[in-house]
Amino acid sequence: MADANFTPGFRSLDEEVTDRTLPVEGSFPPWLSGQLIRNGPAKFEGGGQRLTHWFDGLAMPRKYAFDGGEVRYTNRFLRTESYEDAAAGRPIGQFATGVGGLAKALGWLRRLGPPEPTDNANVHVARLDGGFVALTEVPKWVRFDSETLATRGEFTFQDLATHHMITAHLVEDPHRGEHVGHALTFGRTHEYRLFRIPDGTRRREEFAAIPTDSPAYVHSVGVSEDHVTLVETPLRIDVLRALSPFTEGFFDLLDWQSERDTTFYVVSRDTGKVAVEATAPPFFTFHTVNAFEDGGDVVVDLIAFEDDGVVTALRLDDLAEQGFAGVPPGRLERYRIAPDGTIERRRLYDGGIELPDVPRQVRTRPYRYAYGQSTDREGANELVKVDTERGTAREFWERELYVEEPCVVSRPDADAEDDGVVLAPALDVAAEQSLLLCFDAATLAELGRARVPHPIPFGFHGRFFGS
Ligand SMILES: [Fe+2]
């Protein structure tokens, strides 16, 4: 049965709003100053066809600006080639989407032509070299104006690195003053590449290359003080399928090879050498939560799935049929990797959880609290705060309210790790209205909610940029 409740979360939104002051119930703290900018899909048709996968919707950055307790909202589609294609009734890519780029990348390898990846940058955002950038998993990022969200054209790096796929999850390390990311290059030998982007530059400095005969789909890496841990799961990219006429999208290249283990490559951030290579039983992950060094061990917390079923479950047809009930739950797991390659695994929260965040100051460091979207309830998504030391959790939920990815914002000069607020967008499916919720990060008590004038389709990721 189709779950009508889900319709607003996967329904196209055409309306664009600029700098609209939102009505607030309760209050947002006066010290909260800056903007939460999120990214996600907002149009699910192109060329007269409904897109097949949630990941394919057209990018619409959305912004909540905070000043003196006031909340102002702006949303605007990226004006990209994909957007123009959809507007002109031409089909747009599918996540699928990357396949055109990947096939062309392979063509490029065979000297048939240059790669032309899609520019529908709908996954995440970052501030690089003072500018704002919408990110996707192919190297075609898009600049936008943080005030108006107006599109400013393609983002170009000041380097000569050649990547065929690149992460949309740059890890901003405030302690070292750099973003860390990973990319994939296809060739005679495929390679994972690790790079840093020093603050104030648009330059990727590659510091490690890990060869692989069968590249995995790696969505994010774990960054600790001294290491980057890349988790190679059994979900592999069958690059030769890109040349098949039956391949419609990147989705079709993914191949769950259940006989494989999952490999952790722990790479030194200073030397680029693989310090530890360790294997664990198979699982799949999109998101690392945090990583840190602990007495010679590297600890990586991530959201693990039993297999790749989640990727299929996020197809729009399946979501329309079953809603989130058909999406397998992710689990918050801690992998402790010793220098000798032994791995210890521990579950930190027994409920379903995804879209994690930790306070900025504990990123790459030992930490206690992880926040995320909890997915166990029927007819709602919760907000959860997990105490990783005590093995306890606080949860917030409200009937028919679907909480999205939370974002923790610390109070200026906070001493305690959880002194601050959690900002969480949510969709009230009954009222067909989106909200921005504000919680005390220590107690998860609701402080305020701002009402958005329309239902925003479910988004992916965002960041808070302080002013
Ligand atoms: Fe992600």
Task: List all residues 6 or more positions away from 87 whose beta carbon is below 8 Å from its beta carbon.
Answer: none
- CATH number for 4-466 (one of 3.40.309.10, 3.60.10.10, 3.30.750.210, 2.120.10.30): it is 2.120.10.30
End-to-end CA distance of the chain: 47
Distance 294 CA to ligand 1 centre (A): 26
**Side chain identity, residue 267:** V
Q: Residues 26-50: what's their mean pLDDT?
A: 92
Instruction: Give phi and psi for 185, each to the nearest 5.
Output: -120, 140
Distance 262 CA to ligand 1 centre (A): 19
Q: Which parts of 108-217 are beta strand (E)?
A: 124-128, 131-135, 142-144, 151-154, 165-166, 171-173, 178-185, 190-198, 205-212
pLDDT in tens, 242-277: 777 667 677 788 999 999 999 999 999 999 999 999
pLDDT band at residue 3 under the 50/70/90 scheme: very low
Distance 89 CA to ligand 1 centre (A): 29
Torsion of CA 105, 201, 38, 227, to 10 degrees: 80
**Side chain identity, residue 436:** L
Distance 219 CA to ligand 1 centre (A): 6
d(CA 441, CA 359): 10
Domain ranges of the chain: 4-466
Q: Which of 374, 369, 383, 379 is nearest to 354 (CA)?
A: 374
Q: Which of 52-61, 271-280, 352-361 is predicted with the least confidence, judged by mean pLDDT?
A: 52-61
Average pLDDT, the chain: 91
Distance 68 CA to ligand 1 centre (A): 31
Cβ–Cβ < 8 Å for 251, 107: no
pLDDT in tens, 403-443: 999 999 999 999 999 999 999 999 999 999 999 999 999 99
d(CA 177, CA 199): 6
pLDDT band at residue 96 under the 50/70/90 scheme: low
Q: Which of 232, 228, 230 is nearest to 215 (CA)?
A: 232
Cβ–Cβ < 8 Å for 59, 78: yes
Distance 23 CA to ligand 1 centre (A): 30
Distance 252 CA to ligand 1 centre (A): 19
Q: Residues 196-211: what's their mean pLDDT?
A: 98
d(CA 447, CA 422): 10
Q: Which of 95, 65, 107, 47 is nearest to 423 (CA)?
A: 65
Q: Which of 333, 336, 368 is nearest to 348 (CA)?
A: 333
Query: How far from 269 is each of 169, 188, 196, 229, CA to CA, in Å?
Result: 17, 26, 9, 10
pLDDT in tens, 104-152: 445 444 433 334 567 899 999 999 999 999 999 988 999 999 999 999 9
Cβ–Cβ < 8 Å for 249, 304: no
Residue 273 is predicted with a pLDDT of 98
Q: Which of 9-23, 92-106, 193-207, 234-248 is predicted with the least confidence, judged by mean pLDDT?
A: 92-106
| Greatest mean pLDDT range, 38-47, 64-73, 101-110 | 64-73
Q: Residues 55-71: what's their mean pLDDT?
A: 95
Q: Where are the alpha helices (DSSP H) in 314-435?
A: 316-322
Distance 349 CA to ligand 1 centre (A): 20
User: For the whole model, what pTM was predicted?
Assistant: 0.94
Distance 135 CA to ligand 1 centre (A): 11
Distance 290 CA to ligand 1 centre (A): 14
d(CA 180, CA 205): 10
Q: Residues 76-100: what's their mean pLDDT?
A: 76
pLDDT in tens, 173-192: 999 999 999 999 998 899 99
Asked if pLDDT for residue 298 goes beyond 70, the answer is yes
Residue 2 is predicted with a pLDDT of 40
Distance 25 CA to ligand 1 centre (A): 30
Asked if pLDDT for residue 203 goes beyond 70, the answer is yes
